[in-house]
Structure 1
Amino acid sequence: MITKTTMAMFGIAASGLLAGCTETLDSQQIKTGGISATLEAIAESASSTTVRATLKAGGDESNTYVILSAGDRISATVDGEAVAMSAESSGVYEASVDVGAGGTEIKVLLDRDDEDDDATNNVGTLPDPFDLEALPREPVPRGEDLTIAWSPSASGDDMVIDVKGDCIFSKTFDVGGDPGTYTIGAGALEATSSREPESCDVDVVIRRSRNGTTDNNLDPESSFELSQVRGGRFTSAP
């Protein structure tokens, strides 16, 4: 079962992992058009979704995070119900809702207190949920194929698989469409040490994602991704 700890390992939940030299900027010091919003709706199950907004100044690659102040506020509307988003860290705002069904409409609304433009037209729908089939209980040698399967498939959305473990190099596999299975070929998972090959637990996170749209009043680098996310674990062996 996927957990927020596992999600954080792959950068899916990065609210507490702001790396490098970071700066903050009060929202009263920046126009809406200068705010780059990275918006995410992450459904961990068919009945649980986290809506996250990461606000930056200077583009998505910037390390300057925008802190909402005065009357500036951000919220979400999930399936027509308004939900307040609270600060999880500097420039990162979240809300959790007990909804995760496919087709659920999610909006993120940035309301400005002054005469600057609001950005309330950020909208998208969740992909359909899916179940990840059980991964092997016995250790899987890295010299053998590993097939990962999920259902239902053929959703029309893109699937991505991330793998991470202490004894292997982390990898991301772009599945290409939604075929229901993906085989990680023999040798595709590389050991971090050739001198002393080890076995270790490997976390697998699979995402079904689609893009929403962002308000034209925001920085053009803004984005909105909506995903169904599931996870499992197996043991990788030499």
Structure 2
Amino acid sequence: MALRVLTALTLPRMPRTPVAGVAERLLLLRRPPVLLCVPGTRFAACGGLMPYIYMASVTHDLTGVGGRYVGVFVAIVGVSGAVGTVLGGRLTDRWGVDRTLLAAFGGVAAAALALLVVGGIGQETAPVWLVCLVLVLWRCQAGPTTPPMNARAMQMGGDAATEAVALNTSGLYAGIALAGTVGGGAVNTSGGVGVLVVACVAGLITIVVMALSVRRYPSSRHASVAGPTPEKAVTS
């Protein structure tokens, strides 16, 4: 209840969005700019959440410490992710949707690579403080991906903005499932370091997909529900 009151007091009033009929909702599945958001979100979730899902294996292979530190690592990741989400909203307003997206995805891939380098050099002897620092940078970069991606889906969806966000969210859950499946295979074959390798590859795929999408279907400068109409988005 308190959360609802706080949300009502702090969120700005938004204009009413047009209600799309069944035909418009079905046409949403044919819009390339909307469809390209889905694989971007899926691979971003896969690469960005895989180290979190297998945090115990990753941090053990990097630092060599036991399970007593896992709670600390998870807490650091959680707080950093919350900070990153707030930062993502601010950057979206300041930089625009597309620039924030590409910068955040690049940061996530770079941070995963930094974790991989630390693991490769340290080989279970990396300092705990160093791993914590990289984890903070990683989650602070991953958090900013959610606000601009949802804003982009809304813009590209036009009159069916709500349905576009729902479709994009399905890509998020598919990415989480993919992270668990692929990450499990990586842990079985190469341990926590293998998870980081796969996460880096997923991050690079995300950057390529979204760079092509942004180049072909750029969004407006500022995040807004009243983005380009579907017809303009497809033909731009």
TM-score, shorter chain, exceeding 0.5: no
Normalising to structure 1: TM-score of the pair?
Answer: 0.23
More strand by share: 1
Q: Which structure has the highest helix share of the two?
A: 2
TM-score by length of 2: 0.23
